[in-house]
């Protein structure tokens, strides 16, 4: 690639199962937020000065939050998430409202590993975590075999990019 040539958008997508995992995680979070209307209902029944009509606003906000966070946001996130591994760098593209495009030089990679939570394990997915001195970057949901390949591939390229060896 020429130094002044504009970069193309990374072409590797994450697994379609990520959409299901993200929706389930958002649904669990939404169920926890369901405690807020119940808490307000209990408080308004206990303390007479709290107006009861506010509970309808809270329930409406809870429903809107659920539609956005369970149905819309995971789909937008999944459509946007892309990555590409080059010989000298890793490029990540993600975000919905704020779009981030991150380039990680191979020479900065300290270690790379895979991680599975209970939901990712149920759907046969893994996350790849790329550690640099400053932060940890994540490719969120790949099929297990592909995540293992990506981890090993990045580790090999980082080892080759190390100027001390």
Largest interatomic CA distance in the chain: 73
Q: What pLDDT is recorded for position 163?
A: 64
Query: Which residues, in sequence order, are bridge partners of residue 119?
Result: none
Per-position pLDDT tens, the chain of length 165: 567 777 888 999 999 999 999 999 999 999 999 999 889 888 888 888 888 888 899 999 999 999 999 999 999 999 999 999 999 999 999 999 999 999 999 999 999 999 999 999 999 999 999 999 989 999 999 999 999 999 999 999 998 886 665
Helices 35-46 and 17-33: angle between axes, nearest 10 degrees = 10
Which residues, 6 or more positions from 19, have their beta carbon under 8 angstroms from its beta carbon?
A: 74, 75, 78
**Strands in 95-133 per DSSP E:** 100-105, 111-115, 125-131
């Amino acid at each position: 690639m020429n130094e002044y040539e504009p970069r193309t958008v990374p072409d590797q997508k994450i697994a379609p199962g990520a959409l299901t995992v993200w929706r389930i995680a958002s649904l669990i979070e939404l169920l926890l937020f369901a405690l807020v209307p119940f808490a307000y209902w209990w408080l308004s029944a206990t303390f007479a000065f709290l107006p009861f009509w506010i509970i309808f606003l809270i329930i409406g906000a809870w429903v809107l939050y659920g539609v956005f966070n369970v149905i819309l946001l995971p789909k937008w996130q999944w459509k946007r998430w892309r990555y590409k591994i080059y010989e000298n760098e890793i490029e990540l593209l993600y975000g919905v409202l704020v779009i981030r495009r991150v380039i990680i030089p191979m020479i900065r990679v300290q270690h790379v590993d895979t991680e599975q939570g209970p939901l990712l394990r149920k759907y046969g997915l893994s996350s790849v975590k790329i550690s640099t001195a400053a932060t940890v970057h994540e490719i969120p949901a790949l099929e297990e075999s592909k995540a293992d390949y990506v981890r090993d591939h990045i580790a090999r390229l980082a080892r080759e990019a190390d100027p001390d060896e």
